[in-house]
Amino acid sequence: MKPYRINWNLLLLLTLVSGCSTQPTPPPRATVSPSSAEEAYRILEQRTPAIADRYEGLKYRLGANPDCSNAADCSNLVCAVTRTSLAGTPYRFNPYYMATPEIKENSDAIPASSTRPGDLVFFRPTPSNKPDKRYNHVGIITKKRGSVIYFSHASSSQGVIETSTASTIWQRYWSRYFDSFRRWKPDLFSWGHKKGGEQTYKTACSR
């Protein structure tokens, strides 16, 4: 009777195959097309007003993430409202967080007449008659009443508040620094992940 010989190459192959089968690599998340992104915009339009209201009253602190503290700055607020508005849906806001200049680069200018909740409003640090390439303040549109646009933003002096284009503070101050209304670019949204709670969007409290 011939002695039994172990085929080590075959054993190694079976071990590797078995290991891969227990920990499959998840497929890459697909970025939505411009036409599919319309659904993400529609969800933002419906949910942004209520989500933004949750953050109102928080104090201002530079660099503060409102999902991880009781404070916010303007860019963290805008990103938090956007990603939380999509929580529990098939869509996800990809970057989690971007600074104000990056938000500007990843959004497209739109006319005031086309704005809707979930869109953005940008301000520059110098009056509109003195062009400046920097963008130092951003807010997120929460609702419209006719031609009046309401937006939530983190004011360094008042914390998270809602302001409208019909308000006295707009006429006296913000209108002088207004730059543009903008909309997130479609490729910032992805789809295909499982529906879940908002906790899945609050895992990056330290950047």
- Does 49 map to a domain? yes
Give the integer Cα–Cα distance in Å for 114 and 124.
21
Q: What is the pLDDT of residues 71-82, one digit of tens each?
A: 999 999 999 999
Residues 6 or more apart in contact with residue 184 via CB below 8 angstroms:
41, 82, 106, 107, 118, 119, 120
- Does 197 map to a domain? no
Q: Which pTM value belongs to this model?
A: 0.78
Q: Residue 27 — pLDDT band, cuts 50, 70, 90?
A: very low
| 37 vs 20, more confident | 37
Q: How far apart are the first and last CA of the chain?
A: 66
Say what the pLDDT of residue 191 is. Answer: 82
Say what the pLDDT of residue 5 is. Answer: 52
Say what the pLDDT of residue 6 is. Answer: 45
Number of domains making up the chain: 1
- Does 203 map to a domain? no
- Does 24 map to a domain? no
- Does 23 map to a domain? no
- Does 19 map to a domain? no
Q: Which domain holds residue 71?
A: 30-191
Q: What is the pLDDT of residues 116-134, one digit of tens each?
A: 999 999 999 876 666 655 6
Say what the pLDDT of residue 133 is. Answer: 57
Say what the pLDDT of residue 73 is. Answer: 97
Say what the pLDDT of residue 39 is. Answer: 93
Query: Does residue 180 carry a pLDDT above 60?
Result: yes
Report the length, in residues, of the chain: 207
The rounded mean pLDDT for the chain is 82
CATH number for 88: 3.90.1720.10
Average pLDDT over residues 137-164: 97
Average pLDDT over residues 16-27: 31
Give the integer Cα–Cα distance in Å for 182 and 118.
10
Give the integer Cα–Cα distance in Å for 197 and 7.
49
Q: Residue 136 — pLDDT band, cuts 50, 70, 90?
A: confident
- Does 107 map to a domain? yes
- Does 69 map to a domain? yes
| 33 vs 71, more confident | 71
